Structure 1
């Protein structure tokens, strides 16, 4: 039985009755918030771009459940609803407006039940996500609604991953616990004897340590030493088991990733225990690509997730650079200005940025390019300083601290990029991309609604 039908394929076969309910739903969709957002998204152009990056499929292959435009629309729905994959599928089954948004109709008698559909689509699209080219398509769609294209605001923020706060003890215990479980399963399957370790003894010590409100440093150091010895022993036993079985043990890609992460954690934690400083520190064996990002904020000194340098044009944000490794955004002002020119085709004449961008090299570059910035002037204020220039700097600085900082809060609180739940770097980047641009589309839709209401009130006054 067919679960999903594309609206474009069945429209011609739908019977015409006195009450065409589907047409009523379509009319209602156009005037709804979701319909307004749909008008702001160039789904067809985005699909054509991604389709051009995909390999040509065998015509005998399985027909996809959603059209490519529908898959992209589903990725926009994910941050819009803020729901889990299972919750999104359940809502899609019962919401006709969301089905129209994705260009499909779902049979009420045979609804979708597997939330893994969303995950499968996300993983497939993440491979072909080209941020710069897709953002160019989005800008071309939105540029007629943007003003002050010669002014660019820029700032960096960390979009955190959904992750427990990592400590050395927690990380070492996660490695030991998972390796012990893996060894137990494989020994049972191969008929080999289970290795003797002090796992259960250390488990009791760890539990007792975890119950303490504020353990002493000596207790923490002692437990870390014991966990390091246990992890080293478990890894040696795993190597021995592989040699005994002649390499017959097969692991999944996820298990292989974790084994490699455990080896790296052992090396890093051993060096940390000896007082060495390390780079590219692993904080999770489940997501070994995540790094600690030191932000220096009062309430949160360290964050864990993707660090992104954004540029903003008339309140609409675009990703200039992103990385799971820490980087200094202060040296990326020139690249941001160049990307603004690449995106808009217009030279930036006014630039708003945080004080970290106000180094001598950036000041010199902006002066040479004739760009007005919000940077505080060095040295004493000249007596004949232009009042208009001083006012312009103050206005640009105010916009940066309100519009730019406000967009970060809006994206993180309302569009599911505050604590991103993903299992790999590509999926996390995709969720980040669609969350930011769903916030952009919602902003533009709200502006259009406000403009229409204003025009309507003016017409009523004239009448």
Structure 2
């Protein structure tokens, strides 16, 4: 059951502190609480719960605020709960009205928060936050809106588009290691299915687990095993796995039920069966790749993403299509399969138009986006796309075009800086969530926190500029008053003389 709570952030001065004093209004968590539209998306979050059944659920502000705290501080679920317990500013950020020394919730609830708050909902919050930040940053926002009603909006702004990969927390996969793990899981499943049939089947199916492990370690411990040794070891593991799967089928025919397996074991059995099919096809046909290849038993949604980078030619995780303008970054698409990012070009430009009210003046992309279709689409809308034209390059390039190309590349590289910020400062370099939906939410939260950090820095810059301007004006007034006082004193001295 979900009870609607008033999510409008109350003033920091109203937060009750038992030991006296007040929260500082210029604290970063107080300022962030004012930026996030808590109440606008509460109804969508409440759809995850029944209206009148069950205990009251945690509020949307507490759920989303806890995920933001975890990502911004770069800490674990347990440490997040402890930090909230110790810090009154964090308690104010998640919507509490007074300080409490008790644990706000169990750390395991953060997993449920990531399941209930989808990546689509986080992206909506991200778009609304950026819209608010842009309205605050533009002093003449109302004038622009009034002029937009009279005249059609002109192309303005620079949009940057690129794609990257968010690696998942898995060990580097090899065919031999994957088959060995699959064999071990089938041995446990055989033990569980045989347990209720002990009296009916006196002889337990033989799995050769000790021999199979020795065969695996014989090759896995070698520094550089030959290709022939690897194929021989893979063939043996395939035979052991095939025998275990046939034992499972025989036990089911003898009366064992899949209900005796846990939900995790049943899911693992399905994954292992698919891994056996894929690895057998790769072995028979002597191939290196197969469609929808599974590289992790615990996270079967992960696929190898070939990126062609110098350091890591292949990454294992989700592929992201993102866009950026005015220092803000947006997550446009998440996919576990590799895809051609040029197909998202039009949708990303239209998303920019929906957010800003006009098409961009220029779009800065790399070579893969510069297709004929995308170029023609941009030409119809008066959008300049960066990069050279198709065909043979001209013999003589004017200095103006060289300068324009250099400026375009500098602008385009800013999104690479955003990817670096997400991977070095935040958790985009290694996504620790295991489930597909929780991984999507964790990635989307990273983009939201990056935009909140950008907005917070700009607020600080505006505050410092206003402070410096005020200080300068006050100094000028003091100097002016001093000069006027000095001149009046000199007049009095002359008159008395």
TM-score, normalised on structure 2?
0.82
The secondary structure found in structure 2 opposite 1:249 is helix
Q: Shift in Å at residue 383 of structure 1?
A: 7.6
Deviations 1:310-340 (A, max 9, x none): 1112111111222111001123222221222
Deviations 1:193-215 (A, max 9, x none): 53202221120121232221111
* Counterpart position of 2:235: 225
CA distance in 2, matches of 1:79, 1:21: 29
* Counterpart position of 1:57: 51
The secondary structure found in structure 1 opposite 2:56 is coil
Name structure 2 gaps, 5 residues minimum: 139-154, 476-497
CA distance in 1, matches of 2:26, 2:15: 23
Indicate how the Cα distance of structure 1 residues 113 and 311 shifts in structure 2: closer, same or farther if over 3 A, else same: closer
* Counterpart position of 1:260: 270
Q: Shift in Å at residue 231 of structure 1?
A: 1.2
Q: Shift in Å at residue 295 of structure 1?
A: 0.1
The secondary structure found in structure 2 opposite 1:180 is helix
The secondary structure found in structure 2 opposite 1:332 is helix
* Counterpart position of 2:75: 83
The number of residues matched between the two structures is 444
* Counterpart position of 1:400: 412
Name structure 1 gaps, 5 residues minimum: 1-5
* Counterpart position of 1:3: none
CA contact (8 A) 1:169 1:223 kept: yes
Indicate how the Cα distance of structure 1 residues 229 and 155 shifts in structure 2: closer, same or farther if over 3 A, else same: same
1:121 matched to 2:118:
no
CA distance in 1, matches of 2:189, 2:294: 21
CA distance in 2, matches of 1:149, 1:315: 15
Q: How does 1:65-214 map to 2 (within 5 A)?
A: 66-104=58-96, 107-108=100-101, 110-111=102-103, 114-126=106-118, 129-130=120-121, 133-145=124-136, 150-191=157-198, 193-214=203-224
CA distance in 2, matches of 1:208, 1:384: 61
Which is greater in Rg? Answer: 2
Deviations 1:65-94 (A, max 9, x none): x32211111121121121121221222222
CA distance in 2, matches of 1:94, 1:236: 56
1:320 matched to 2:319:
no
CA contact (8 A) 1:158 1:307 kept: yes
Deviations 1:354-395 (A, max 9, x none): 1211222222222222112221244454989794x7655532
Which of residues 345, 361, 365 is equivalent to 1:349? 361
Indicate how the Cα distance of structure 1 residues 142 and 181 shifts in structure 2: closer, same or farther if over 3 A, else same: same
CA distance in 2, matches of 1:243, 1:206: 30
Deviations 1:236-287 (A, max 9, x none): 1122222223526333332222111111100100111122442110111111
CA distance in 2, matches of 1:397, 1:353: 9
TM-score, normalised on structure 1?
0.87
